[in-house]
Structure formats: structure tokens, C-alpha cells
């Protein structure tokens, strides 16, 4: 009999999640029925959108209830298949496998991964949801052209690091915004961004003037809040703002008063467009092929931040909300 370890949302977080909002339990796995697959989870992906699932706010996905296993993307190995589609040993990725050691799912909720293409955990990173967010969000929503100045916030994170590199491939002048010198040094020295702004220690407005003398043509926004107020006030004519995420707002209990940025949108005839990566689902194969090619050619590299053990997931998730991660945050659940 298989014993499953699971992480539950014990209490709905109010504001910044706390360790006591989570609970780890052990339970017996049920029998695998006809049409189902039993998966041993190897890698769990921790992503900011999960904070939204923990709240009651209206969303494309239903909210978690207290006592539910936390839903999340993961990569695992099929250890029992009662389907024609999958066999034992297959490596799969699923967006709803959850914070647990084992999951029983139906084929519709998983996809097969080619382990020869890249390390399997990239299926929840550069070759998965965050990678597709960067690729389609930048190219379809930001619409950069060579020579454009592209600014990206949360620039050393899972999505941001890829946005900047894709913009560099496209011949853009790239400025990243991140918290701390170590992250900023990584952006300029290793990822070859043209400049990086440490929003925790530098004056964002002054640095934007310095690094974006002709204004900002594309702003890929991962954070919202005061960083975004500053960038919007530096937009160039016909600028595009791709609203990918507003992590600075996810843990607030009341909306943060902000600058009025509409005058800058008006006078620059700028466009702002929010997007969810899923709107590009029909085109993922194009993005995945292109990203895999760039990785193979060494044009795109990716930084991972790996935490060992499922029981570390709550602490790591809280860290994600506080900028403790450096690169794509993953939990290694099992070998």
C-alpha cells in the first residue's frame, strides 16, 4: 500500500501566507481505477499564481477551500497506468498534480515529456508555463521590434529572466528591474542585459532616465505597484505595457493607492494589455520548439532555485512572495 504525503491549505491566508496556514498530512493512496494513471511526483513547481488560488477572489480557476491539497504544476513518473495512453516509466507534466508525493489523474490533465530534450524539470520552467508566458507575453503582447527599449520587472525570476533574453535575441535594449545587487549583477554579467536596476537600493526614476534615455517602448510587468508607476511615467510614444503579473499586490489586504498613470498612457498613445498564458495554448508547440532550439544553441540559459523535500514547499512559497528565490523556484520531491 502506498502512503502519500500531502500539503494542505489548512487556513486561508490573510495577507502574507504564514507557515501555520499549511499542514502536512499522510494518507493512504486509493486503488488506481480503469482510465487512471498513478504518478510519483519528482519535481513540484512553485508559482506566484498559487497565492490567487488560496484567496477567494474570482479567477479563471476555482479557489482552494481550507483542507484542500494545494494545486500546482509538477513533473512526475508514471508508476501504474490503467490507460492505453501511458505506460510505466513515462515522464509527465501536469498543471494540477498538486503539492503531494503521488497523484492519481486522467490522461487529459497530463502531457508526456521527452526526457532527452532537456532536464525534465524544465517542463514546469523554461519549457513549460513560465517559458510560454515569457515567449508569448513578450512577442504577442509586448510586440518588440529591434532597437526598442524593453523593461522587465521581477527580471531574475522564472519569467523575467527569459523575457529579457528573448528581447536581447530580438535586438532590443533590455533593462531589468530586480531586488538586490546579486540579482542585478547576474542580469548584466551572465544574461547580458544592457542594464539592471536594483529597486531596493537605487532610485528607480533616476535609473530609468539613465538607462532608457529615449523612453520605454515595451514594459513587461511582473510586479505592479510603485515600480510600475515609475516605468509607465517613462513610456515612449506608442509603448506597449504587457501586464503579466502584479506580485506586489498579491498579499495586500487592501488595494495600494498609486500614482495616476493614465496621463502618461494618454499622451504617449500607449497600450496596456493584460494576458493569461493559457490564451496561447493552441500555439504552445511553436513556443516550445523555439525555446528548445534557443537553449540548444546556448542563446537562452535558465537559472533554477531548487529546494529539497516536499515539506519545504510552504516555506519556499512564502519566500517566493518575498523575493527569496533566485531563478525558477522548484521543489525536488523525489529522485
Whole-number Å distance between alpha carbons of 17 and 185: 30
Q: Of the candidates 123, 175, 239, 320, which one interacts with ligand NAP according to CB under 6 A?
A: 320
Answer positive or negative: Cα dihedral of 238, 239, 245, 246.
negative
**Single residue of 73, 144, 157, 314 touching ligand NAP by CB under 6 A:** 157
Footprint of ligand NAP on 169-198 (CB under 6 A): 178-179, 183
Question: Is residue 98 a contact point for ligand FER (CB under 6 A)?
Answer: no
Please choose which of ligand NAP, ligand FER, none residue 107 contacts, taking the beta carbon within 5 to 8 angstroms, the exact cut-off set by kind: none
Among 159, 288, 295, 330, binds ligand NAP (CB under 6 A): 159
What is the per-residue burial (b if ≥16 Cβ within 10 Å, else e) of 37-66?
bbbbbbbbbbbbbbbbbbeeeeeeeeebee
Q: How many CB atoms are located within 10 Å of the residue 26 CB?
A: 9
DSSP codes of every residue in 155-209 = TTSTTHHHHHHHHHHTT-EEEEEESSHHHHHIIIIIS--SEEEETTTS-HHHHHH
16 binds, among ligand NAP, ligand FER, none (CB under 5 to 8 A by kind): none
Choose from ligand FER, ligand NAP, none: what does 59 bind? Cβ within 5-8 Å by kind. ligand FER
Where does this chain touch ligand NAP (CB under 6 A) — which range of 17-25, 105-113, 149-157, 260-268?
149-157
Q: Greatest CA separation found in the chain?
A: 66
Residue 158 touches ligand NAP, criterion: CB under 6 A: yes
Which residues, other chains included, contact 199 with Cβ-Cβ below 8 Å and sequence gap of 6+?
Answer: 177, 178, 179, 227
CB of 199 to ligand NAP, least distance (A): 7
Contacts with ligand NAP in 72-131 (CB under 6 A)? Answer: 130
The residues binding ligand FER (CB under 6 A) are 48-49, 52, 59-60, 245, 276-277
Amino acid at each position: 500500500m502506498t502512503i502519500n504525503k500531502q500539503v494542505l491549505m489548512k487556513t486561508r491566508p490573510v495577507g502574507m501566507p504564514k507557515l501555520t496556514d499549511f499542514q502536512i498530512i499522510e494518507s493512504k493512496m486509493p486503488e488506481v481505477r480503469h482510465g487512471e494513471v498513478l504518478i510519483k511526483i519528482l519535481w513540484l513547481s512553485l508559482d506566484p499564481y498559487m497565492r490567487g488560488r488560496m484567496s477567494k477572489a474570482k479567477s479563471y480557476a476555482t479557489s482552494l477551500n481550507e483542507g484542500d491539497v494545494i494545486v500546482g504544476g509538477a513533473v512526475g513518473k508514471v508508476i501504474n497506468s490503467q490507460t492505453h495512453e501511458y505506460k510505466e516509466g513515462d515522464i509527465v507534466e501536469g498543471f494540477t498534480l498538486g503539492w503531494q508525493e503521488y497523484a492519481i489523474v486522467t490522461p487529459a490533465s497530463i502531457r508526456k515529456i521527452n526526457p532527452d530534450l532537456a532536464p525534465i524539470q524544465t517542463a514546469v520552467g523554461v519549457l513549460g508555463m513560465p517559458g510560454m508566458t515569457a515567449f508569448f507575453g513578450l512577442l504577442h503582447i509586448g510586440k518588440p521590434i529591434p532597437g526598442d527599449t524593453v523593461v522587465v520587472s521581477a527580471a531574475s525570476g522564472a519569467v523575467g529572466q527569459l523575457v529579457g533574453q528573448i528581447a536581447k535575441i530580438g535586438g532590443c535594449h533590455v533593462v531589468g528591474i530586480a531586488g538586490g545587487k546579486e540579482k542585478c549583477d547576474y542580469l548584466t554579467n551572465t544574461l547580458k542585459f544592457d542594464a539592471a536596476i536594483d529597486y531596493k537600493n537605487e532610485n528607480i526614476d533616476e535609473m530609468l532616465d539613465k538607462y532608457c534615455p529615449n523612453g520605454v517602448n515595451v514594459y513587461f510587468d511582473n510586479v505592479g505597484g510603485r515600480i510600475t508607476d515609475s516605468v509607465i511615467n517613462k513610456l515612449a510614444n506608442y509603448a506597449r505595457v504587457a501586464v503579466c503579473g502584479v506580485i506586489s499586490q498579491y498579499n495586500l489586504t487592501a488595494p495600494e493607492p498609486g500614482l495616476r498613470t493614465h496621463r502618461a498612457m494618454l499622451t504617449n498613445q500607449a497600450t496596456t494589455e493584460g494576458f493569461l498564458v493559457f490564451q496561447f495554448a493552441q500555439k504552445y508547440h511553436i513556443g516550445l520548439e523555439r525555446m528548445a532550439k534557443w537553449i540548444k544553441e546556448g542563446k537562452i540559459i535558465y537559472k533554477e532555485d531548487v529546494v529539497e523535500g516536499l515539506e519545504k514547499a510552504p516555506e519556499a512559497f512564502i519566500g517566493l512572495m518575498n523575493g527569496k528565490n533566485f531563478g525558477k523556484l522548484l521543489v525536488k520531491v523525489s529522485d
